[in-house]
Every structure is written in structure tokens, then in C-alpha cells.
Structure 1
Amino acid sequence: MLLTLDDSRHTDFSGVLATKSLIRPPARDPRLRLVPGNVVLFWQDEHLPHAIEVVDGAIRAVRLWSDGTRQIVTFFWPGSVIAPSALQRYTAETLTRCTLRPREDIAAPEPSGTDQALQASLRLLAATGKKSATCRMAWFLLQIREHLPRDPVLPNAFRVVIPRNDIADYLGMTLETACRTLATFRAQGLIDLPTRKTICYLNIPRLIRIASLPSEGAGV
């Protein structure tokens, strides 16, 4: 049983995506599977024979190291397709309840899945390498904006489905720094945080400018 930083009751559903054991929601496509949050879809170094399409929900890809530490490689959102691999280089965990579709029609040979994880890491490095926490956080908020679901109650608010410790892990900063940076953005009128799990984007042009700043001019 995998213990995450934010949830000690993590469930292992690896290997059952293609079976009938998961809840099947009423839909035209009988291949759809409804998977609860905090579920392991597959483990690092496990064989994934076919692709998985994310229809709804959010998934994190986590690299586990031999010393017990971990690093979030990327996130998968609706429309993403997790590539198959003879030997996956990360563990896939559902962040929210997800609707998934097994894609047996996509069965690429190794190193498809490995390449996908590597490309995600390179994109993150290219966007945030040597930049301040302020720049990295602004970039991240802009990246996830189009994927976040609307809050059903609060107007103009989005639901933040990624825990703050995951955000810090992904951006290579401490949890304290991540929280402080979000608080600074709020004080500057760039965003609002009506609740711990919601966000309103108030000044996107300025977030774009901050995300584009060179490291020496960004501040912390």
C-alpha cells in the first residue's frame, strides 16, 4: 500500500483497469471505467500493455527513488493519453475520481511510456530551470488554468484538485515556499483563494509577465 504525503489511505487498483471490477458508469462507450480518487493505476517498473485515455479527472505521475523520496513528473488531465510501456518509469495515481478509457488500439512498443515521462521532465526543466519560486508558481498556475474544473458554487472560481504539497514537489520548492508564494500573489491582487481548494485568476497578464521574467529579476 502506497503512502502519499497527503493521504495515508491510498488504495492499489493496479492491474484492474481492464477488468469489470471497477464501477462502470452509464455511458454509450462500455469501455469507460470510473475510478475513485487516491488509486494507483499502475506502479513504477510495471508493464502497461495498452494506453489509458483520461476522459475526466486528474492523475499524477510519480517517480519513486530508492532512498524513499519521490518526485512528481507530470499531471494528466482530460484528453491526455497515458502511453503504454514495457516498463513504466513512474507510478500513476488518481488525484480525483476519474473516468478512464482503456485504449487497446494504442499499443506502442518500448520506449513509448518512458519517452513520455522524459519529455514531461524536459518541458518542466525548460520552463522553470534556474528561475525563482515566484516565476515557477506563476508558470504553473497558468499551465493548469485550462484544466481546472469550475467551482459549482463560487462564481469565477476554479477547483484546485492538486494538493499544495504536490505543487511544491512538482516545482522543486518547499511547502512553506509554495504557500508563501501563493499568499504573496493573493496580496498583490493576482489571484484570490476563496477557500483552500479554490482559486480565482484576477490578473492573468501580470502572471504571464512574472512567468516570463529571467531568474535574476524575479525575486522570491
Structure 2
Amino acid sequence: MNACAQCSVRETAICSSLSPEELGALNSLGRHQLLRRGQTMVWQGDESLLVGNVIEGVLKLSSSTVDGREQTLGIIFPSDFIGRPFGPTATHSVVALTDAQVCTFRRSAFDEFAQQHPHLEHSLLQRTLTELDRTRQWMLLLGRKSATGRVASFLLEMAKRATPYAGAGGGAETIEFDLPLGRQDIADLLGLTIETVSRQLTGLRDQGIIAIPNRRAIEVLDMERLESCAEEA
């Protein structure tokens, strides 16, 4: 129970819906797993054995095409839920982009616990629907937006997930974060070439919208203008 009470994502993970007694019962089923950068937690096509909450670090979802190429599908942040409950097979791989800590559960044990606690199932459903909405927005981004719109939208999402930024009108306050992905991974995620991603980042920098202190670090200098760029079709 102490591990759950001290968890940094206790109030935002799906287990936030549980009472102290229920949380203690779930805690007895879980364990903390440490992942090193580049380590694969789940392999696409393997039996779905583990699910869990990300506590620290950033991971990615990826899938392999028939010709062996890897496609980045999404990014997972602290408090996000990973794994495939109520399903026998993992539909994508989960790879650590940074050193990470995950609270994991055997899928079969978690499935049984969730079935006995409908409010946890409800939280899981809400999280799933949120991810579905995000995926639909991403499809719109890839299908309709310009290269500038795609890169700006990506940076906007990273800024929102990295900070407590709550929406438009954020003003001139600088928001700083490290990109969890390299340029090639960003290009794959956005359906662009690495050269295009680099040109767009340079363009946003030259306009004074962002600063790039080093290859990984991003400073958003003008959130409103970044939002405007993200709307470009």
C-alpha cells in the first residue's frame, strides 16, 4: 500500500478510482519494473502477458511492416496505461525511449481484478476512448495538415504532456522539454522525411516561435503562434 500511496502518478493513473482497500489489493498483484533506454517491454505478436501504468520515463508504441520496417505509432508518458487487457496477443511493441519505471501486472490477474471492480473497468474504458480520440486527431493531422502543421502539432502535444499547460492563451511564458524521439522517429511518426522535419524545426526557430538549445531540447517561446502554426492545412 505504501508504494501506491507514494506513487507520483497516483492521482492521474487509472487506479485513482480505487479506494484505499482496493488499491492495497491491486498493489499486491503488481511489481515495479525498471526499463533501460532502448529496452523492449512488449513485442508485437507475442502473447499479451503484462499490462501496467507508466510511473516515470517515456516509451513508444511501434509496429513492424511486412517488409521489416518499424513504424512509430505513438508515445507513452507517465500515468499512461500500457498493454492489452482482455486480449491474448500484443498488437504492437512497447519500447523505452528513456530509462523508465513501470508498475506491471500479469494480464490475467489484472483482467480478473478489473472484472470484479467495475469502476476500474470504467476508468480503463474512459482512457481507451481518450486514446481513440487522440488517434483520430492524429489521422486528421497526417491526412490534412501541412508539414508545418504536423511538426507544430507534434511540439504542441509534447509541450502539453510535459507541463501542466492547460490550453490556449498561455501567453509568452517559456515551456521547456526534451524531445523523447530522435529526428528519424519524429519523421516516421509524422509521415515526413527527416530532412523536412529538420527544415520545419529550423523555420520555427528562425521565426522566434521556439528555441533549440541542443539537438534534444526544445523551448517554446510563443505558445499562441505555435498553436496557429499547428492549424496550418
TM over 0.5: yes
Q: What CA RMSD, in Å, does the superposition of the two structures yield over aligned residues?
A: 2.7
Superposed CA deviations along residues 144-195 of structure 1, whole A, max 9, x for unmatched, are: 113338xxxxx96322221111111000000000011000000000000011
Q: Which residue of 2 aligns with 1:125?
A: 139
1:106 to partner: Cα distance: 3.4
Contact 2:162 2:177 in 1 (8 A): yes
Q: CA deviation at 1:51?
A: 1.6
From 79, 89, 92, the equivalent of 2:91 is 89
Of residues 119-128 and 183-192 in structure 1, the stretch that sits farther from structure 2 once superposed is: 119-128
Q: Which amino acid aligns with 1:37?
A: R
Listed as ranges, the matches of 1:132-143 within 5 Å are 132-143=146-157
Deviation of 1:131 (Å): 1.2
Following superposition, the deviation at residue 91 of structure 1 comes to 1.1
Following superposition, the deviation at residue 45 of structure 1 comes to 0.8
Q: CA deviation at 1:73?
A: 0.9
**Offset at 1:58?**
0.6
Contact map agreement 1:128 1:135 (CA 8 A) in 2? no
1:87 maps to amino acid? T
In the alignment, is the contact (CA less than 8 A) between 1:148 and 1:160 conserved in 2? no
Structure 1 residues without counterparts, runs of 5 or longer: 1-27, 150-154, 216-220
In 1: Cα distance, 2:49 partner to 2:135 partner: 23
Does the aligned pair in 1 maintain the 2:57–2:98 contact within 8 Å?
yes
Name the residue aligned to 1:54. Answer: 54
Q: CA deviation at 1:126?
A: 2.3
TM-score (ref. length: structure 1): 0.72
% identical aligned pairs: 27
Per the alignment, residue 110 of structure 2 pairs with: 106
Give the counterpart letter for 1:143 in structure 2.
E
Question: Contact 1:73–1:121 at 8 Å: present in 2 too?
Answer: no
User: For this pair of structures, how many residues does the alignment match?
Assistant: 177
**Considering only CA atoms, is the larger Rg found in Structure 1 or Structure 2?**
2
Q: Deviations over 1:81-122 (max 9, x none)?
A: 01323111211110000010013463279xx9xx88x93643
Q: In structure 2, what is the equivalent of residue 166 of structure 1?
A: 185
Letter in 2 for 1:36: R
Q: Aligned residue for 1:74?
A: 74
Structure 2 regions of 5+ residues with no counterpart? Answer: 1-26, 116-124, 164-173
Matches of 2:110 and 2:191 in 1, distance apart? 33
Q: What is the distance in 1 between the residues matched to 2:63 and 2:54?
A: 20
| CA contact 1:53–1:102 (8 Å) conserved in 2 | yes
Question: Which deviates more, 78-87 or 170-179?
Answer: 78-87
Aligned counterpart, 1:218: none
SS at match of 1:206: helix
Matched, 1:206 2:208: no
